[in-house]
A = this chain, B = another copy of it.
Amino acid sequence: MDIDLSGESDWTDMEQFRAPLARPFVSADPDPERFRVRYYTDPLGNLAARAWFGPHCEGPPGHAHGGSVAAVLDEAMGGNCWVQGHAVLAGTLTIKYRRPLPLGSVVTVRTAVDRVEGRKVFAVGRLLDASGAVVAEGEGTFIVMREELQGTLDAEARKAGRTFGSAY
């Protein structure tokens, strides 16, 4: 199926960063009937995306599972923290669902970092449908990893022939 995930004219394609950024659960999902996500940066340097929700994202009949919406926002908000130079894991995630999302929709994802306090990075995100209506809003507190944990995860990534923390 041909799905148009092209970005806005003032977005920069993040394809060169795809491998380290992409995670199997969302953006590197091997199942072509679930998510398809393409990342960009907007003119402010924040991560943006086009994302398609396929039939295997189903929750309510014909519509995206609340968990699938949460997963896309979590990955985009957390990914943006990394793009902004913060090596984080999710601490707290809040999703407000504004309207059901029909399967087969391509949505726009926007993210920003609201503020940084010590090791806490406060991130925000939005998922918008093709008409610009807000489907869901996200807020996340992402925590900068302690060196020891990051070292452990870096080693796990290298073992699998991938990169994790060193890509940005």
Contact = CB atoms under 8 A, between A and B. Distances in A.
A65 B75 contact: yes
A68 B70 CA distance: 9
A167 interface: no
A58 to B, nearest CB: 4
A57 interface: yes
A90 B75 CA distance: 19
A153 B62 contact: yes
A90 to B, nearest CB: 4
B25 A59 contact: yes
A100 B148 CA distance: 13
Contacts of A62: 153, 156-157, 160
Interface stretch (A8-16, A26-34, A40-48): A26-34
A58 B31 CA distance: 14
Given A25-B57, A57-B24, A89 B66 contact: yes
A163 to B, nearest CB: 9
Nearest to A89: B60
10 contacts: A24-B65, A25-B67, A31-B56, A61-B156, A63-B153, A67-B71, A70-B74, A92-B94, A93-B93, A93-B97
Interface of A: 23-26, 29-31, 34, 55-68, 70-72, 74-75, 78, 89-97, 100, 149, 153-154, 156-157, 160, 162, 164
